[in-house]
Structure 1
């Protein structure tokens, strides 16, 4: 059984609020250092409270844009491979036609 916490409920809620306000930009270690607390204790408090930092809508927009751009990059990479194959076929066909015309 775990020993009772030496920290007050107010301190614990303030620590959670500080970590959530960081919106995932700071690590447990960084926030815990600011509070002079153990990072594993902070991690446990966050896990017990339901987990993840609050994500701002701007951050969500950024993540959505990043996902869209990654999908676009994947699509373009596939298209580039197809175009390279087409160029290679046309290059070979042009070489054959040039040989026949000689």
Structure 2
């Protein structure tokens, strides 16, 4: 049986929220809160596991729109880079 925690659930949740919203690393945040970094890391990991969306969850309308708008741009950029690299390699072989 695990020993009782020294930290209240409210403190844990606030520490997790600070860690998730901060631009600092978990270790830096833990140091600021005077916690062991592994303790905070465990709380964050547990929080994320409990609050992750299920695999079967449907996308919202805004998520679907964002994906449909962003993907063609990314694919176009990748294709342009690939074409540029291909042209560069072909030019190198032609000069030899």
Decide: shared fold, TM above 0.5: yes
Between 1 and 2, higher relative CO (CA 8 Å, sep ≥ 6) is seen in 1
Q: TM-score, normalised by structure 1?
A: 0.56
Q: Which structure 1 segments of 5+ residues have no match?
A: 52-63, 89-102
**Equivalent residue in structure 1 for 2:92, among 81, 84, 102:** 84
Structure 1, 41-50 or 76-85: larger mean CA deviation? 76-85
By how many angstroms is 1:71 displaced? 3.9
* RMSD value, Cα: 2.5
Determine which structure has more spread, i.e. the larger CA radius of gyration: 1
Q: TM-score, normalised by structure 2?
A: 0.59
**Equivalent residue in structure 2 for 1:26, among 24, 29, 48:** 24
Aligned residue number for residue 35 of structure 2: 37
Q: Which structure 2 segments of 5+ residues have no match?
A: 50-69
For these two proteins, the number of residue pairs brought into alignment is 70
**Moved segments of 4+, more than 3 Å:** 70-74
Q: How does 1:1-102 map to 2 (within 5 A)?
A: 1-22=1-22, 25-50=23-48, 68=74, 71=78, 75=82, 76-88=84-96
Q: Distance in 2 between matches of 1:83 and 1:72?
A: 18
